[in-house]
Amino acid sequence: MREPLWGVSVSTMDAKAHLVPDPIPTPPPSRRRNDAAEPRVLRPRRAAPSDCVRPTRAEVNLAALRHNLRVLERHAGTAQVWPVLKADGYGHGAPAVARTLERAGAKGFCVALVEEAIELRDAGIRAPILVMGGYYGDAHEEILERELIPVVYDPAHLEAFARAALALERPAHVHVKIDTGMARLGVRYDALAPFLDSLASHAAEIEVTGLMTHLSCAEMGQLGVSPEATTEQLARFEVACAEMARHGVRPAVRHAANSAAVLRGDGLFDVVRPGVSVFGFAPRLGGDGPSLSTELRPVMRVRTEVVDVRSLGVGEPVGYGATFRTSRPSRIATVPMGYADGMSRAVSNRGAVLVRGRRAPIVGAVSMDMAMIDVTDIPGVTLRDEVVVLGAQSGPSGSDVITVDEVAEAVGTIGWEVMTDLSRRVPRFYREP
């Protein structure tokens, strides 16, 4: 069957459109309450490979994913690795990534949104799933029914999950988040009392199965010397955990480490929560120092093809706003990838891609669906030649690689954002090596 491009609702009379409703699994009873009144919720879908006409695509290497899990498991020691698959698995497609990692032995997963957790359950993931974002709407019962683990830090969370637990006649399992210096989410480590009181009054309905915090500066410091901020945060976490224990809250599981902390061996506890490193990107010391790991393998490669190539004389403009002018007789190729696909407009006249194994600079302004590259110095470029936007390429003119770091530098951002920028218009192809 042909996979729908988008799951948005359109008239089904429009037979030739790619826009067809997304089939949705039968919701559990609690979601069916106002069936008649509720508008049908249709989920947006990424372009699927079977719809793929344009040659622009992302290749996701599942063997590299498993390799990275092994590397992180080694760093984690006795702690379990619960990969963070928020933002559609950092742009790699969370369901396929989760299935691969679950089969490879991942013991749990973390996401930011309830929606992301449900997507993983719908994909058949059985492992524990931690929902870290802290906003639950009125989905409390569904969260418990789907056996998702909410992260809580507010007495209002406890009240809502206690009500849901009573309605379903089963205890709510939660992880409590402690704010030890990130000032984002969590009960402040030095002001636990009101939360502990609320927890005590809901002891029958709510079981705390984990305590967590989040580190703000794990990639800082020197090699071999943990950053002061991390040492301080971990000390505060210990203080908070001891205080919780005095009030009878002694869960078996504690966790704090993101990718940088896992790779540095800081705050490993019982579970670690690496995200970006699962996908082969190692944070750099201090943001731009040496990489914290050389063992990880990039998981994604983004490629497209030359769809047009033309010869220009000297002084000819290229692209919107004529921000580039040829300074010599030039060969300019067009590639079908633009900022709507996640090739940031910030790489206009700055970034590069690979053609025939060699670097070609991006010239002119990146437009919504296309970008132009200067292939004057690469002999023999023709229509349909492969163009690599991210990852490695070997060809008749050499071998090279465009790294996430390089793109981040050109865009003026961090690797995390480069990964999550790739839009759903770019189909993901999953492959073994």
Ligand X SMILES: *Cc1c(COP(=O)(O)O)cnc(C)c1O
Contact residues for 256 (Cβ-Cβ < 8 A; gap 6+):
212, 213, 214, 215, 233, 234, 237, 267, 269
Give 214 or 331: the residue with its C-beta nearer to ligand X. 214
Give 196 or 296: the residue with its C-beta nearer to ligand X. 296
Site for ligand X in 207-226 (CB under 6 A): 214
Tell me which amino acid residue 79 is.
Answer: A
The site for ligand X, by CB under 6 A, has a size of 12
Q: What are phi and psi of 290, to 5 degrees?
A: -65, 150
Binding test (CB under 6 A) with ligand X, winner from 65, 125, 132, 149: 132
Is residue 275 within the footprint of ligand X (CB under 6 A)? yes
Tell me which amino acid residue 223 is.
Answer: L
User: Is 320 one of the catalytic residues?
Assistant: yes
C-beta of 269: minimal distance to ligand X in Å?
13
Is residue 84 within the footprint of ligand X (CB under 6 A)? yes
Q: Answer yes or no: are the C-beta atoms of 108 and 80 closer than 8 Å.
A: yes
Is residue 276 within the footprint of ligand X (CB under 6 A)? yes
Contact residues for 169 (Cβ-Cβ < 8 A; gap 6+):
none
- 64 CB-side CA count, 13 A: 20
Q: Answer yes or no: are the C-beta atoms of 211 and 239 closer than 8 Å.
A: no
User: Is 86 one of the catalytic residues?
Assistant: yes
C-beta of 83: minimal distance to ligand X in Å?
9
Residue nearest to ligand X (CB): 275
Separation of alpha carbons 256 and 237, rounded Å: 9
Is residue 118 within the footprint of ligand X (CB under 6 A)? no
Give 140 or 214: the residue with its C-beta nearer to ligand X. 214
Burial grade of 287 (CB within 10 A; 0-12, 13-18, 19 or more): exposed
The stretch among 11-19, 119-127, 235-243, 269-277 that binds ligand X (CB under 6 A) is 269-277
Is residue 175 within the footprint of ligand X (CB under 6 A)? no
Q: Cα-Cα-Cα-Cα dihedral of 205, 165, 122, 58, to 10°?
A: -50
**Which position among 86, 136, 153, 177 bears the catalytic label?**
86
Is residue 117 within the footprint of ligand X (CB under 6 A)? no
Separation of alpha carbons 382 and 281, rounded Å: 33
Is residue 274 within the footprint of ligand X (CB under 6 A)? yes
Binding test (CB under 6 A) with ligand X, winner from 56, 61, 80, 259: 259
Separation of alpha carbons 213 and 12, rounded Å: 48
Question: Under DSSP, is residue 275 helix (H, G, I), strand (E, B) or coil?
Answer: coil
C-beta of 314: minimal distance to ligand X in Å?
47
Give 271 or 354: the residue with its C-beta nearer to ligand X. 271
Is residue 334 within the footprint of ligand X (CB under 6 A)? no
**Which position among 177, 320, 339, 430 bears the catalytic label?**
320
Please give the residue ranges that form the binding site for ligand X (CB under 6 A). 84, 86, 132, 214, 258-259, 273-277, 416
Q: Which residues are catalytic?
A: 86, 320
